Amino acid sequence: MWEALDDFYWTYQSLIHAIGVNGILALSVYVVLAVGQLSLGQAAFMGVGAYTGALLTVKFGTPFAVSMIAAAAVPALLALVVGGPTLRLTGVYLAIATIGLGEITHIVLLNWDYAGGALGLSGIPERGGVWAIYGTLAVLLVGFTLVARSRVGRAMEAMREDEAAAGVMGVNLPRYRMTALVVSAAMAGIAGCLSAHVSSFIGPGEYGFESAVRILSYALLGGIGSPVAPVLGAAILTLLPEVLRPLADFRLMVNGLIIVLAVLFMPRGILPWRIARTG
Amino acid sequence: MSSSSPLLAVEGLTRRFQGLVAVDGVDVAVREGTVHGLIGPNGAGKTTCFNMISGVLPPSEGRVSLDGHPLDGLPPYRRTARGLARTFQNIRIFSEMTVLENVMTGMHARLTAGLGILWRSPAFRAEERAAKARARDLLGFVGLLAAADHRAGDLPYGDQRRLEIARALACEPRLVLLDEPAAGMNPAETHALLGLLRRLRDERGLTLLLVEHDMPLVMSLCDRLTVLNFGKRIADGTPAEVRRDPAVIAAYLGAQQAEAQTGAVPAEASGHPAEAAR
């Protein structure tokens, strides 16, 4: 029995890791969407976290816990810098600013020789692994469910529905927006650090605009009514290309078709139900 | 607070939109424990005044103070904490939430739970329980208790207006700004609303400032009126005084005549102050 499970894990380990990491990324974009903002910087935050953690581990030999904390803190600081001027405003300014952040991050990583430049950073020792990934995901899921079922969750949903009315109800809008972005960036950074320490190699190409859109699509497919929904979306979108592997050349086409149909017929996500907020 | 100084003092409030002066040096003094009406033809600047008082729109000039403390420059959430609440002309409830959750969202500024949320501290649970009980009380007060768990967006129009009032009361305000609470209501609903608003003043000791077009409601409810026309204050006084004011009669008749000429049905046709008096 254990042997069979072991075999299964070794065969599919990169997929199992990816589902967990993408689940954390989906939660990170959910936090921002949940207050009615749009961030396209999740891939950049992830990349900054991945490089911060991996550089510390590879070049300075820090313990994994230290790399993880730094991988959360540096993107969080970056979020403070980007959020400061943009989050006082209503509308799409955050989305635009985070696209810019993504491009800048990409160019910096590409040209930063100390971090390997275009060749990336290799030889990252394996740390954390499947337990760290799924443990983090579980803690975050429980945490967000508890927050959703509180005055903070009600305030967040109110902001999403009608920002001006939420403000008149006493919600400190700039503070909520900023906290959401900082928490979201820290989570993406943690996801990056976890994933870097199970894949031995990271490169600047993994954290571009395409990845930002992919992360956003987890939450769009799953829905944002409850924290579980985006995680489910991430699991489906990570598994789908693998399940469709027998289709060979038609794989990407069918993959795209399924996503288009899902968004057309389930515009509020696969799990559209909202969490009760009076618990 | 002495009985002579007003609870809400608005002085010289002005708002210009690219050359258009929507509100022009308006003064309003609302005394504690009264219902004060802000009336005037469409486009007179009443809702713009509300937006400036509640902090949604920054004024070009002028001052607003609540109980002697200036509110100028404060964002809406700080004004809510000081004791200001409002409803909106076009209903703005959170329609995906339940009726009860809407009211509990109104309590946001009064709830203090912090990190205890993450481990369900006894303080958090006690606060949440108390908030829910208070929200149910408020729903009972406005007559919506039976609909507590319904999706707010599914409520009939008149009930949504009452929910908005309950949500504003949840802010524990001293002054409530009501933007056309009777709009779209049938006569029976309007009559019930009149009773509800009187109870807010008489039983709960609240002060109300309302914008309203339903003149019979305004005349029988309000203790004092301020009349705006083209952004300027043209009259201020008791309903009886305002009704006789030549400037007010001219403003309303002028509006009626202008609309009659274009063939439109004037919104205030049945609401002329002088007619309501008869």
Instruction: Specify the number of domains making up chain B.
Output: 2
CB contact under 8 Å between A166 and B85, yes or no, is no
Q: What DSSP letter does each residue of B152-200 carry, written as one string?
A: GGGS-HHHHHHHHHHHHHHT--SEEEEESTTTT--HHHHHHHHHHHHHH
Mutant choice from A140, A151, A152, A160 vs B, greatest count of B C-beta within 10 A: A151
Nearest chain A residue (CA) to B112: A151
Shortest distance, CA B106 to any CA of chain A (angstroms): 5
Domain end marker among B126, B148, B170: B170
- Quick check: B267 pLDDT over 50? no
Q: What is the mean pLDDT of chain B?
A: 88
pLDDT tens per residue, range B26-77: 999 999 999 999 999 888 899 999 999 999 999 999 999 999 999 999 999 9
- Quick check: B271 pLDDT over 60? no
Enter the pTM of the model.
0.89
Residue among A130, A111, A127 nearest A13 (CA): A130
CB contact under 8 Å between B107 and A173, yes or no, is no
Which of B117, B132, B167 is the closest to A152 by Cβ?
Answer: B117
Burial class (CB in 10 A: 0-12, 13-18, 19+), B223: middle
Domain end marker among B136, B170, B204: B170
CB contact under 8 Å between B117 and A173, yes or no, is no
Same domain, B194 and B209: yes
3-state SS class at B68? coil
CB contact under 8 Å between A150 and B124, yes or no, is yes
pLDDT tens per residue, range A66-109: 999 999 999 999 999 999 888 877 678 888 899 999 999 999 99
- A145-163 burial string, b = 16+ CB within 10 Å, else e? ebbbbbbbbbbbbbbbbbb
Q: What DSSP letter does each residue of A183-220 carry, written as one string?
A: HHHHHHHHHHHHHHHHHSEE-GGGGSHHHHHHHHHHHH
Residue A76 domain boundaries? 11-265
Shortest distance, CA A150 to any CA of chain B (angstroms): 7
List of chain A residues whose C-beta atoms are within 8 Å of the C-beta of residue B88: 165
Residue B272 domain boundaries? 1-83+173-278
- Dihedral (C-alpha) A111, A115, A119, A125: value to the nearest 10 degrees? -160
3-state SS class at B64? strand
Same domain, B164 and B179: no
What is the rounded CA–CA span in Å between residue B168 and residue B84? 9
User: Rounded to the nearest 5 degrees, what angle is found at the Cα of B196, between the Cα atoms of B105 and B107?
Assistant: 15
Shortest distance, CA A237 to any CA of chain B (angstroms): 27
CB contact under 8 Å between B76 and A167, yes or no, is yes
CB contact under 8 Å between A169 and B100, yes or no, is no
Residue written as token pair 């976890």 = A194
pLDDT band at B4 (very low <50, low <70, confident <90, very high): low
Same domain, B102 and B56: no
Cβ neighbours for A167, distance < 8 A, ≥ 6 positions apart: A173, B55, B56, B75, B76, B77
Which of A154, A170, A172 is the closest to B101 by Cβ?
Answer: A154
pLDDT tens per residue, range A2-56: 788 888 888 888 899 999 999 999 999 999 999 999 999 999 999 999 999 999 9
* Assigned domain for B193 exists: yes
**CATH number for the domain including A27?**
1.10.3470
